[in-house]
Amino acid sequence: MLGPMQTLTNPDVVVIGAGVIGCSVAWHLATLGAGRVLVLERGQIGNGTSAMSSGILRTHYSVPQNVDLALRSWRFFERFAEHLDDPEASAGLVRCGYLIAVPEGDKVAPLRESLAAQAARGIAVELLDARAAREKLPIARFDDAALIGHEPDAGFADATLTATSFARAARRRGVVYREGVAATGLAIEGGRVRGVLTHDSGAGVGGRIDAGMVVSAQNIWAHELTKWTGLPVPLVAERHRVLALAGPAPYTRAMPVFKDLGSPGMLYGRSYGGTQMLVSEGTAGEVLATPDTTQGEVSMDLVAHIGEQVAARFPGWEEAALASSWTGVYDVTPDWNPVLGPVPGLDGLIVAFGFSGHGFKLSPAVGRVLAQAALGLPTDVPLAPYALERFAKGRMLSGRYGAGAVS
């Protein structure tokens, strides 16, 4: 239960969007003493793109700032209920580890260097030979692997459960959530955001809501900021397909998440429901003209295309049956990394968009640094590398793997 209906006038901070990022921001605002916090959500809590997430958690990145955010987030996920001070809170964490493998080629060096950087950061990582990798994931073959990395402190969790758990804990600390209320603009005076304009849907909120600070956590709908403020929002909405396959042997929850950098689609896979394999491609998806999370088609051609790659890695899985499928939309920036923090020339606004298919694993730490930024506090991790201006200034945040969801 999320708690009783509450009302709130004159908030100190308004958060737009109650996905896993907005919910994390709101909870961190409450714990950092932000005062009155109001969250506006056009739909339902956790029901945007977070609801379609594959939920994989790892600290493996080649961009050092991402490693930092992911590590801080992992530590939060590990003791989620304790941090939220709510014994019933759960992120649905499954700590099964993360395997990442490459054949000979241009990704060997990025993998080796990224693993070394993780180790230098104090993260437990190890190199495995093919036999040791098969012991962890006996349904796969590794005979073509030139390098296999293993991160034991990794796995997957549930993004919607995480969002609603943050929301419940935040409500207990006085944060007010309004579902079914869309922000339709920002009140801007003297070069500063002074509040939010809303569409009154009958949920008790409407018109102009004054606030000292506004945090936009709108994901693919962050384009609205351009209409409201003129800010450039370099974002592409990309639809991705996810399959759940029932194979000849179970993909158990004890088996690690697997990233196959040798497959054409840079596949990732994990256990789904304890027996099936959740699988999807890590390459670019279908570009949508407008942000839209309605389900797209998962054609049999696409199923066959992914199925062939699965069968090449998992012997016997050419006979796997398609158990279910769905689509989800990434908010992709030019360097596949998010935009976080204040924006140039407009005080009173903090933005978070462009998570490019890897925002869930960063959500606890991102929520904290954004709350810190909104309150004018020093941030745990410098936000300058994630600044919106980086695109205009040619300071892309690209790592050893280049643009893509590994980052």
Contact flags string 140-179 toward ligand FAD, x per CB under 6 A: -------------------x--------------------
Residue number, 134 or 342, with CB nearest to ligand FAD: 342
Contact flags string 344-363 toward ligand FAD, x per CB under 6 A: -----------x-xxxxx--
Contact flags string 356-395 toward ligand FAD, x per CB under 6 A: -xxxxx----------------------------------
Considering only the stretches 19-27, 126-134, 146-154, 296-304, report the one whose residues sit in contact with ligand FAD under the rule CB under 6 A: 19-27
Residue number, 159 or 245, with CB nearest to ligand FAD: 159
Residue number, 28 or 129, with CB nearest to ligand FAD: 28
Tell me how many residues contact ligand FAD (CB under 6 A). Answer: 39
Contact flags string 109-138 toward ligand FAD, x per CB under 6 A: ------------------------------
Residue number, 177 or 330, with CB nearest to ligand FAD: 330
Residue number, 127 or 188, with CB nearest to ligand FAD: 188
The set of residues, in sequence order, having a beta carbon less than 8 Å from that of 82 and lying 6+ positions away, is none
Report the nearest approach of ligand FAD to the CB of residue 212 (Å).
19
Residue closest to ligand FAD (Cβ): 19
Could you say which of 107, 240, 259, 390 contacts ligand FAD (CB under 6 A)?
240
Considering only the stretches 1-9, 203-211, 326-334, 368-376, report the one whose residues sit in contact with ligand FAD under the rule CB under 6 A: 326-334
Report the nearest approach of ligand FAD to the CB of residue 292 (Å).
12
Alpha carbons 207 and 45: distance in angstroms, whole number: 21
Contact flags string 205-234 toward ligand FAD, x per CB under 6 A: ------------xxx-x--x----------
Residue number, 134 or 324, with CB nearest to ligand FAD: 324
| 393 burial type by CB count under 10 A (0-12 exposed, 13-18 middle, 19+ buried) | exposed
Contact flags string 25-54 toward ligand FAD, x per CB under 6 A: ---------------xxxx---xxxx-xxx
Residue number, 117 or 182, with CB nearest to ligand FAD: 182
The set of residues, in sequence order, having a beta carbon less than 8 Å from that of 2 and lying 6+ positions away, is 45, 164, 167, 168, 171, 177
Q: Give the interface with ligand FAD as residue ranges (CB under 6 A).
A: 16-22, 40-43, 47-50, 52-56, 159, 182-183, 217-219, 221, 224, 240, 242, 328-330, 355, 357-361
